[in-house]
Amino acid sequence: MSSYGASTRKAVRQRTPSPTPKWIGRGVLSLVLAWIFAHFVTLGSPHWGPGTRHDAVIFGQMIAIGLFPILFLIAFGTKNPVRGAVFVGIACIAAASGLLFER
Amino acid sequence: MQDNLRTRMGWLHAWIGFAAGLLLFCVFATGSLAVFDTELTRWLQPEVPPQAAPFSAQVLDRTLPTVRDLLQQGEKPFITLPSMRDPFMRVQHHDGYEFLNVPFNPQTGEQIAARKTAGGTFFYDLHYTMRTGLYGETIIAVAGLALLVTLGSGIIIHLKGLIPDLLLLRPFAARLRAWLDVHVVAGVPFLPFAIMMAYTGTFIRARTIFPPVSYIASFETLFTPSSHSDVSAEEEKPSVSPLPSLPPLLSQAEQTLGDKQVGQILFLTDSMLFTRTDMSGPLLTREHVDFSPVDGHFLRHVLLPTPVTHTQQLMEGIHYARWTGSGLRWMYFLSGVMGAVMFASGSVIFLMKRRKQSGGRIMFRLAEGLAIGSIPGFLLATLAFLWANRLLPVSLASRPLAEVHSFFVVWGVSAIAGLLLCFYGRSRQGWKIELSVLGALSVFLTPLDLLTRSGVSILHAPTVFAATDLCALVLGLVSLQVARRL
Amino acid sequence: MMIFLCFLLCSAGLAMQALCEPKMLRFAKLQQSNPSSIFRIGRYACLLLALFMSFWFQPVTAIFLWAGAFSLSVLAVSLGWAVLARYREVSR
C-alpha cells in the first residue's frame, strides 16, 4: 500500500467525529437494562429460589451480581447496539417471568 | 475514533474506571488497612505491650463490671477472647461507626490503662460505608458493580497482550508508557483477587442495591416514620441484673463449638451469645451458643446449615479474611495495595491522555483536583490519623472522635488545596506538594512511634509496631520518588 | 514457609517465561535465540509444581496461596526485569 493511501486513511480517521455522545446513550441504556435484569432476578428469587425465603433471596442476589456486569458488557459491547439491547431485554423478560412462579 | 469492540470497551473502561476509580482507590486502600484492623488497633494503643501472658479463662469475670456499665448505657458490649492476632482480652462496643475497646490482661484480668482510640476498625467502617451509613453502603455497592464492569472491559481490551505483556514493566520509559505499564502490572496479575473481592464485596452489601422488594416499597419504608423515634434514649436504657459467671458457660459452649473455638461473647439484654471465632475456617458461620443472662441456663445453639448459607458464609469468609494466617493476610494486604495502585495509575493515565486536548477545561481541572484529593489526599489523611493518635493528649475527652476529625480535616484541606491549585493551573505543584508532605509524614512516622511509645527498643522481635512503621516508611519513600519524577 | 516456597517456584517459572518471550528479551537487550526446551517446559512445570504442592500441603487454602504467590511473583519478576534492563542499558 502506498504511503499516500496510508496518510489519507489517517486523515480520514482524524476527521471522524468522536462517538462519545452516542456511547453515553448506549451506556445509560445498558445500565438500565442490566439493572432491570438484576432487580427482577432478586425480586423473583423468593418465587423460584431454593429453600427458605432468606436462602432464595441470597441465591438471587448471587446471580444478579454475577450477571450484571456480563449483561452490561454485552449490551454495550455488541457492534449493533439494537442487537445487544434486544438480547439483554429478552434476559430481563425472562427474569421478570420468574415473578409468575408460585411455590 | 474507530467503532470496534476494543475502542468501545476502552471508552467504557476509562470513563467508568475514572468515575468510580477515585472512590474505589479509597475502598481498596481502606480495605488493605482493614485486613490488619486488629493489629492497627494495637499500634494505636501503644500502652498495651506487644506480648502478653497466656489466657486464663478464670479471669473472664473481671471484665463483667465494664460489660455491665456498657449494658446500662444501652450498648451491646462483647468480649473478644485472646487470639493469635491479639493476645489481649478486650471489651468492645460499636458506637455507630467504630468498635471502641478496653483491653484487659488475659492472665490477671486487670484492665490496662490504654488511650481511647477509634482504632483500626475506623478503616473498616470507612471501607464499606465511607462513614455515611446506609447511603455510603449503597454508593460503595454501586461502585462495586462499576468495578466489575471496569474489570470486564479491561480484560477485553488487554486480552491480546495478556501473556506477552504480563511481565513488562518499563518504569524508565516515557511517562505515559511507564504509567500504563504500572497500571497493567498492578492490574493483570491481581485480577483474580480484584474480581473475587469485587464480587464478594458487592454481594455482601447486595441488599442495599438489589433488595428483594420493589424499589417503590423500599422508598415508602424509607419515608415512613419509625415507631421507635419518639422513645427517648433515657427510656430505652435497660435495667441490668447481675450477670452469671462466665468460665463455666465458656467451657459449656466449647463442648458444642470445640476447644478454643469461642471467639466472642456478645451480651444482649435477653441472651449471651458465645460465638465461634472468625478464625476457625473460611466459612464465616457466626455459629453461636446462647445462655440466659439471668441465671446462665442454656437457651439455644444457632447454626445455619443450608448449602446457600454455606456459600454465603464462604463468600463472607473469603472477603473478610479473618480466618487466614499472617502469610495469607499479607498477601491480601499487598493485593489490596496493588488494587489501589491500579486505580491510582488508571486515574493518572486518564488525566494524562486528556490533558493536551482538554487541560484548560474547567471539568478537567475539577477532575484533576478530585484526583489529587482522593489519591495523595486520602493517604495524607490516613497518616494524619496515625499522627493524631500519638500527638493528641491521652486525657482528651471524645478522643476517638478527635482522631476521626483530624482525618477528615486533613482530607478536606488536601482536597480543597488540590482543587484550588488545579483551578489556578498549578496541578503539577498540587501533586508534588501533597506527595512530598505524604512522604515526609510517612518517613517520620517511625521516629514519632519511637518517641511516643514507652518500653521501645530498636532490636526486638517483629511486632505490629515495626510492621506499621516499615509500611509507612516504604509508602514515604515511594511517594517521595513519585514526587521527584513528576 | 509454604507461601515462600510457592512464591519462589512461581518466580522461577515466570522468569523462564520472560526468557521465552521475544518482547521481554528485546526490552532487556538480551540475545534473542530459540529458547531452550528446559525453559519452555520449566515455565509451566514450576507453576504446576507450586499448585500441586499447595494442594498437597495446605488443601484448604491452596487456591488462595497459589494465586497470591503467582500475583506477587509477577510483580517481583517484572520489577527485577526492569532493574536488569536498566542496568544493561546503563552499562552499555
Q: Does C6 touch chain B (CB under 8 A)?
A: no
8 Å CB contact of B309 and A72:
no
Model confidence pLDDT, tens digit, residues B132-168: 888 999 999 999 999 999 999 999 998 888 888 889 9
Average pLDDT over residues B401-419: 96
Evaluate if residue B217 carries a pLDDT over 90: no
pLDDT of residue A5: 42
pLDDT of residue B486: 80
What are the boundaries of each domain within chain B? 359-486
| Among C60, C75, C81, beta carbon nearest to B189 | C75
Average pLDDT over residues B213-218: 78
The residue of chain B nearest to residue A43, with distances taken between CA atoms, is: B212
Do residues C81 and C24 touch, judged by C-beta distance below 8 A? yes
pLDDT above 90 coverage of chain A, percent:
60
Evaluate if residue B59 carries a pLDDT over 70: yes
Q: Does A61 touch chain B (CB under 8 A)?
A: yes
Question: Three-state SS for B302?
Answer: strand
pLDDT of residue B186: 94
What are the boundaries of each domain within chain C? 2-91
Do residues B291 and B299 touch, judged by C-beta distance below 8 A? yes
For residue A73, the chain B residues in CB contact (below 8 A) are: 9, 12, 149, 152-153, 156
For residue B192, the chain C residues in CB contact (below 8 A) are: 67, 71
8 Å CB contact of C60 and B164:
no
∠ Cα B271 B280 B37 (to 5°)? 85
Q: Determine which of A4-13, B374-383, C71-80 has the lowest per-residue pLDDT on average.
A: A4-13
pLDDT of residue B238: 64
pLDDT of residue A23: 86
The residue of chain A nearest to residue B150, with distances taken between CA atoms, is: A69
pLDDT of residue B382: 96
Model confidence band, residue B237 (pLDDT cutoffs 50, 70, 90) = low
**In whole angstroms, what is the distance from residue B446 CA to residue B456 CA?**
11
Question: Three-state SS for B53?
Answer: coil
| Among C23, C67, C78, beta carbon nearest to B164 | C23
pLDDT above 70 coverage of chain A, percent:
83
Q: Does B153 touch chain A (CB under 8 A)?
A: yes
Maximum pairwise Cα distance, chain A: 70
8 Å CB contact of C21 and B167:
yes
Q: Does A77 touch chain B (CB under 8 A)?
A: yes
Q: Does A72 touch chain B (CB under 8 A)?
A: yes
pLDDT: which is higher, B82 or B218: B82
Q: Does A27 touch chain B (CB under 8 A)?
A: yes
**B28/chain A closest Cα distance in angstroms:** 19
Evaluate if residue A11 carries a pLDDT over 70: no
Do residues C4 and C67 touch, judged by C-beta distance below 8 A? no
∠ Cα B353 B355 B357 (to 5°)? 95
pLDDT of residue A16: 57
Q: What count of CB pairs under 8 Å joins B to C?
A: 72
pLDDT: which is higher, C65 or A18: C65
Q: Which residues pair with B274 in a beta bridge?
A: B265, B289
CA nearest B323: which of A31, C58, A37?
C58
For residue A77, the chain B residues in CB contact (below 8 A) are: 5, 8-9, 12, 153, 156
Model confidence band, residue B281 (pLDDT cutoffs 50, 70, 90) = confident
* Cell numbers for B338: 496493588
Evaluate if residue B409 carries a pLDDT over 70: yes
Model confidence band, residue B41 (pLDDT cutoffs 50, 70, 90) = very high
* Cell numbers for B161: 497482550
For residue C82, the chain B residues in CB contact (below 8 A) are: 169-172
CA nearest B262: which of B407, B81, B389, B438?
B81
Model confidence pLDDT, tens digit, residues C17-76: 998 888 888 888 888 777 788 888 988 999 999 999 999 988 888 898 999 999 999 999
**A103/chain B closest Cα distance in angstroms:** 16
The residue of chain B nearest to residue C21, with distances taken between CA atoms, is: B164
Q: What count of CB pairs under 8 Å joins A to B?
A: 92
Model confidence band, residue A17 (pLDDT cutoffs 50, 70, 90) = low
Q: Does C56 touch chain B (CB under 8 A)?
A: no
pLDDT of residue C34: 76
∠ Cα B286 B291 B297 (to 5°)? 150
- Whether chains A and C touch (3+ CB pairs under 8 A) is answered by no
Mutate to test the interface with A, among B138, B205, B308 (most CBs of A within 10 A): B308
Average pLDDT over residues B448-452: 91
Evaluate if residue A14 carries a pLDDT over 80: no
For residue B194, the chain C residues in CB contact (below 8 A) are: none
First to last CA, chain A: 67
Question: Three-state SS for C17?
Answer: helix
**In whole angstroms, what is the distance from residue A86 CA to residue A82 CA?**
6
Average pLDDT over residues A55-78: 94
Evaluate if residue B236 carries a pLDDT over 70: no
Q: Does B148 touch chain A (CB under 8 A)?
A: yes
Model confidence band, residue A18 (pLDDT cutoffs 50, 70, 90) = low
Chains that touch A (3 or more CB pairs under 8 A): B
Q: Does C78 touch chain B (CB under 8 A)?
A: yes
Evaluate if residue B173 carries a pLDDT over 50: yes
Question: Three-state SS for B141?
Answer: helix
pLDDT of residue A2: 37
Q: What is the ipTM of this complex?
A: 0.91
Evaluate if residue A8 carries a pLDDT over 70: no
pLDDT of residue A22: 83
Averaged pLDDT score across all residues of chain B: 90
pLDDT of residue B5: 87
Do residues B414 and B381 touch, judged by C-beta distance below 8 A? yes
Buried b (16+ CB within 10 A) or exposed e, B196-206: bbbbbbbbbbb
Q: Which residue has the cell 530498636?
A: B458
Model confidence pLDDT, tens digit, residues A67-101: 999 999 999 999 888 999 999 999 999 999 988 88
